[in-house]
Amino acid sequence: MIHLLQSLADGSTQLVDVPVPSATGVTLVVESRVSVVSAGTERMLVDFGRAGWLEKARRQPDKVRQVVDKMRTDGIGPTLGAVRAKLDAPIPIGYCQAGVVVETGPRVERFAPGDHVVTNGPHAEYVRVPHTLAAHIPEGVSFEAAAFTPLAAIGLQGLRLAAPTLGETVVVYGLGLIGLLTVQLARANGCEVIGIDRDASRLTLAERFGARTIAASEGVDIARAVLDLTAGDGADIVLLTLATDDDEPVRAAAGMSRKRGRIVLVGVAGLHLRRDDFYRKELSFQVSCSYGPGRYDPVHEDQGVDYPRGFVRWTEARNFEAVLALMADGRLDPGALVTHRFDIADATKAYDVVSGSAPSLGIVLQYPGKTETNGDVQRSVVLRGDEPRPGQGVVGWIGAGNFASRVLIPAFAKAGATLHTLASSGGVSAAVVGKREGFRRATTDPDTLLSNELLDTIVVTTRHDTHASWTRRALESGKHVFVEKPLAIDLEEVDRIAAALERTSGVMCVGFNRRYAPMAVRASEALRARTGPLVVDILVNAGSIPRDHWTQRPEEGGGRIVGEAVHFIDLARFFVGAPIADLQVKTAANERPMDDVASIHLGFTDGSMAAIRYLSNGHRAFPKERIELFADGTVVRIDNWRRMHAWGLSGLTTHLPHAQDKGHEALAAAFVRSVRQGGAAPIPPEEILEVSRWAIRAGQLAAQGGGSA
């Protein structure tokens, strides 16, 4: 299928052939009929992409500070690599789409194949969205009109925040698509409307919709003009539906408002406010968030949990429904806003219009429409025509996220693995990353990798809750498996994998790469001849992650101890070289246990011990990892994998100012070598199972506030 992507590196748009996504969980797949270009938002993205490095930095000062902090802690090379990877990854664009449902996930009840719906999906022949971001199109409303719904819902949410009443005066400042739709919504609500813009044609449209208008031409005192139109009373409500970094629109809004008026920022404006503008009139000011309640809430959108209507009357989807109802009875007319129509195959021409100087407003992209049921859709695409000969190390890869694409896939390619098929649930990342990294195919049907006899190796880099299932199924299919940590998020899954390992001769490896970091290897070799116990002290400045992030949810990410601190449990196990015997966990508390601010103490069968302080409450400018090893009168310290110092051991001090090496390439090379040569697994399977079980126990104890095992 055709998918429109945009480069943040240079602002260019491109049409890419990607596999059709599959409906999962709470999502539905919709075949597009029409999508609408949001000229304001999408032009901003184009302009950002075309800007030089200095201009990009000027527009995102917070990101610049993050880059500087990362450069200080991780080095120049990894930082520049991360920045380039971010900019080089093209992104889907667009959020106004209407079409026909072709497939629904098992937890979707409100929609069925054949339904006509509007969604916030991007410009693509097929889109996958959660059911909470879709709404049925009423009979009599065309796909083209319906595709304007998300834009209108943005304006509607701004109106809802302002709470207009019958007869109040509403100023709509900025008459782009959202502004002109908002004019109609305010008129439908029984309000007097004043529209402000520089463009004469847009002012004419606003007048057609029943608004009085003011031309924001050079030298015009806009606030004075509004006061004149309202007999000196001022506006009850000002909705800022424009996009600028200038502070003047907010100041003008304050000047044109009546005493105790309401100002709502729907678009973008500078926010260097002057207190006196608001103080004397006791004005209220709010910033509106997109389509309404539920936006950016992962529980509502990703997990599909709707808010009860009795408590949250207007969610984002219900705002969609309200807009569509107004279209159905003729009180909202998006058709008058259409200035250009393009076939999706000519979509790049649409962006020439968006970024050009010629007048434009509503730019519609039209799609051919192939089927209204879940038929023969394209779940895989060919990226390269050549097929490898059957052999050892032909890889099928499941999961194409940022870490896989930036770190692991290049490491496997460098190790000489034959990259065959890359699978991702949405399809875009599989196609883009797969093309760039030399895969032969991209797919959204990962099950086909298990049945493909050409593939002898599966790599799993999906979300944590799927690792165990894919690993077990791949082993049972006779494949070798490399799975990114964690191996599993509960003990029963570990037991099932252990049972599968007993029935197969396949090589299994987990991405415990730090054992293969050159500094870790050298330190381990230097301490191999020790006669006394080893004491390991590991400090991890993990950084804060929001509590609602998927990695924090026990059922999906397993929590941060299981998902990430497992790295350091394994590293301690590697340094000691003896089985773990006991475990103690203590967490900080703030109304409840803070399971990502934890101290993990391990005892080993040889009398050694390890303390791992995994902390999320530090500053990001502080280095992330520090390891200290004490044994037989010697000390080794590794500082964030850039410096290593030794006391009592000669020739071990190392300084790498420009780069880190955490062992990803070395572990990938060892795994590929094991697969091809039939040698032992890079990490003994019994150690992987042991470490995984102890990490899960540590996570359970941390969630309870601490304890022993």
pTM for this model (two decimals): 0.88
Q: How confident is the model over 429-439, as pLDDT tens digits?
A: 999 999 999 99
Is a pLDDT exceeding 70 seen at residue 554? yes
Task: pLDDT band for 51, please (50, 70, 90 cuts).
Answer: low
Nearest to 141 by CA among 163, 165, 116, 159: 116
- The pLDDT assigned to 87 comes to 56
pLDDT, residue 307, reads 95
Residues of the chain with pLDDT > 90, as a percent, come to 78
Q: Evaluate whether 236 touches 169 at the Cβ level (below 8 Å).
A: yes
**Count of CB atoms within 10 A of residue 42's CB?**
21
pLDDT at res. 564: 96
Confidence of residue 45 (pLDDT cuts 50, 70, 90): low
Over residues 605-629, mean pLDDT = 96
| 65 pLDDT higher than 90 | no
pLDDT of residue 6: 83
Q: How many helices (H) and strands (E) does the chain have?
A: 25, 32
Whether 631 contacts 534, CB under 8 Å: yes
Write down how long the chain is: 709
Calpha distance 556→388 (Å, rounded): 36
Query: Containing H/E element for 382?
Result: strand 380-382
Is-same-fold flag (2-147+297-366; 514-665+683-708)? Answer: no
CATH of 155-287, one of 2.60.40.1150, 3.40.50.720, 3.30.70.1350, 3.40.50.300: 3.40.50.720
The b/e string for 149-163 (b: 16+ C-beta within 10 A; e otherwise) is: bbbbbbbbbbbbbbe
CATH 2.160.10.10 for the 2-147+297-366 domain, yes or no: no
Burial 554-581 (b: 16+ CB within 10 A, else e): eebbbbbbbbbbbbbbbbbbbbbeeebe
> How high is the pLDDT of residue 352?
86
Which residue ranges make up each domain of the chain?
A: 2-147+297-366, 155-287, 380-512, 514-665+683-708
Distance CA 69, CA 52 (A): 22
C-alpha to C-alpha distance for 475 and 503, rounded to whole angstroms: 9
Q: Give pLDDT, residue 56.
A: 54
Predicted confidence at residue 386, as pLDDT, reads 84
Q: Provide mean pLDDT across the span 114-143.
A: 96
* Mean pLDDT lowest among 88-92, 226-230, 346-350: 88-92
Q: CA 381, CA 445: separation in Å to the nearest integer? A: 11
Q: What is the mean pLDDT of the chain?
A: 91
- Find the helix or strand (DSSP H, E) in which 615 lies: strand 609-615
**pLDDT tens digits, residue range 388-415?**
877 778 999 999 999 999 999 999 999 9
Instruction: Name the E strands within 81-197.
Output: 91-92, 97-104, 116-119, 126-130, 134-136, 169-173, 192-197
Q: Report the sign of the C-alpha dihedral through residues 480, 484, 488, 494, in that order.
A: positive
pLDDT band at 39 (very low <50, low <70, confident <90, very high): confident
In this structure, of 68-77, 389-398, 417-426, 693-702, the range with the lowest mean pLDDT score is 68-77
Query: DSSP string spanning 658-695?
Result: T----SHHHHHHHHHHHHHHT---SS-HHHHHHHHHHH
- The mean per-residue pLDDT over the stretch 217-223 comes to 90
pLDDT confidence band for 42 (50 / 70 / 90): confident
Backbone phi and psi for residue 477, each to the nearest 5 degrees, phi listed first: -85, 5
pLDDT of residue 361: 92
Report whether pLDDT(553) > 70: yes
Q: Which fold has domain 380-512?
A: Rossmann fold (3.40.50)
Q: How confident is the model at residue 92 (pLDDT cuts 50, 70, 90)?
A: confident
More confident: 79 or 557: 557
Nearest in space to 468 (alpha carbons), one of 484, 446, 454, 444: 484
Q: Give the class (CATH, top level) of 514-665+683-708.
A: alpha beta
Residue-wise pLDDT for 264-323, tens only, equals 999 999 998 889 999 999 999 999 999 999 999 989 998 899 999 999 999 999 999 999
For the residues 157-164, what does the mean pLDDT come to?
A: 97
Q: Is the pLDDT of residue 558 over 90?
A: yes
| Per-residue pLDDT tens digits for 322-371 | 999 999 999 999 999 999 999 999 998 898 888 777 888 999 999 997 75
Q: How confident is the model at residue 83 (pLDDT cuts 50, 70, 90)?
A: low
Of 46, 37, 42, which is closest to residue 8 (Cα–Cα)? Answer: 46
642-694: per-residue pLDDT in tens?
A: 999 999 998 888 877 677 899 999 999 999 999 999 889 999 999 999 999 99
